[in-house]
């Protein structure tokens, strides 16, 4: 577990997963503001969150697993909320704007190929933690 308080670490953790690097302080603060109205994490989500903190590379698999086996999970909701916040930050416009040309095809193929493997691992991890 990192040294910073969990609630401060959470948006950075999610932001890093979603963008591939640390999100801006502004995005972090927006998440913290929004999180005041979030429900507390359910038990399964809390366990998955601890697991992801220990093994950050596992978050992608957990996220894909929840999409198939826990759509209403509070952990998935929080990742989604961070994504919504990042989408409305002009500094991340290029992460959410349409990609064109061969880059679009490559990104699409890569994501489609990767998703089933992540989902498979994710489903196992989510099922074990239920």
Partner 1 sequence: MKRFDCIVVGSGATGSIAAQALLAQGFSVLMLDAGQRDLDFQSLIPERSFMDLRQSDPEQYKYFLGPNLETLGPQPGEGYAHLTPPRRALFKEVQRFLRNRSETFSAVESLAFGGLGSGWGLGCNVFSDSELQQASLPISEMRDAYQAIADLIGISGSADDASAYTHGGLSGVQPSVPLNPTAAAILQSYKRQRSRFQKQGFQLGRPALALLTEAKDGRSPTTLRDMDFYSDAERAAWRPWILVDQLKRSPGFSYIGNSLVTRFTERDGVIQVHALNMQTLENDSYTCARLILAVGAIGSARIVLRSQDDLTTQLPLLCNPYTYMPCIVPARIGKPVPDRDMGLAQLVLFHDRDNSHTDIAQASLYTYRSLLLFRLMSEMPLGIRDARIILQALTPALVIAGIHHPQQQSTLTYLVRELDATAPTGDRIAISSAESEKDYNNREHRERCFIRALRSMGAWTIKRVHPRRGASIHYAGTLPYSTQEKDYSLNPDGRLHKHKNVFVADGSGFTFLPAKGLTLSLMANAHRVAKAVGLTMRS
Q: Is 67 in the site for partner 1 (CB under 8 A)?
A: yes
Answer yes or no whether residue 71 interacts with partner 1 by CB under 8 A: yes
Q: Which of residues 4-33 bind partner 1 (CB under 8 A)?
A: 17-18, 26, 30, 33
Give the C-alpha separation, 127 to 18, whole Å: 23
Helices (H), the chain: 6-19, 25-34, 43-54, 59-69, 74-87, 93-96, 101-128
- Minimum Å gap between C-beta 3 and partner 1 is 26
DSSP letter (8 states) at residue 20: S
| Selected binder of partner 1 within 22, 68, 124, 128 (CB under 8 A) | 68
Is 74 one of the binding residues for partner 1 (CB under 8 A)? no
- By CB atoms closer than 10 A (0-12, 13-18, 19+), residue 16 is middle
Q: Contacting partner 1 (CB under 8 A), which of 48, 49, 66, 126?
A: 66
Q: How far is CA 50 from CA 55, 94, 95, 104, in A?
A: 9, 31, 27, 34
* Residue in 4, 6, 55, 84 binding partner 1, rule: CB under 8 A: 84
Give yes or no for a contact between 117 and 32, defined as CB atoms under 8 angstroms apart: no
- Tell me which residues touch partner 1 (CB under 8 A): 17-18, 26, 30, 33-34, 37-39, 60-61, 63-68, 71, 76-77, 79-81, 83-85, 87-90, 93, 95-105, 107-108, 110-112, 114-115, 118-119, 122
């Amino acid at each position: 577990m990192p040294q910073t308080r969990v609630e401060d670490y959470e948006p950075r953790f999610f932001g890093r997963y979603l963008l591939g690097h640390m999100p801006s302080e502004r995005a972090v603060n927006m998440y913290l503001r929004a999180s005041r109205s979030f429900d507390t994490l359910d038990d399964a989500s809390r366990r998955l969150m601890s697991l992801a903190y220990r093994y950050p590379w596992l978050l992608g698999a957990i996220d894909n697993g929840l999409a198939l086996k826990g759509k209403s999970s509070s952990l998935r909701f929080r990742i989604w909320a961070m994504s919504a916040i990042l989408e409305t930050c002009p500094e991340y416009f290029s992460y959410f704007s349409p990609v064109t040309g061969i880059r679009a095809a490559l990104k699409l193929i890569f994501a489609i190929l990767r998703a089933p493997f992540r989902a498979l691992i994710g489903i196992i991890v989510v099922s074990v933690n239920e």
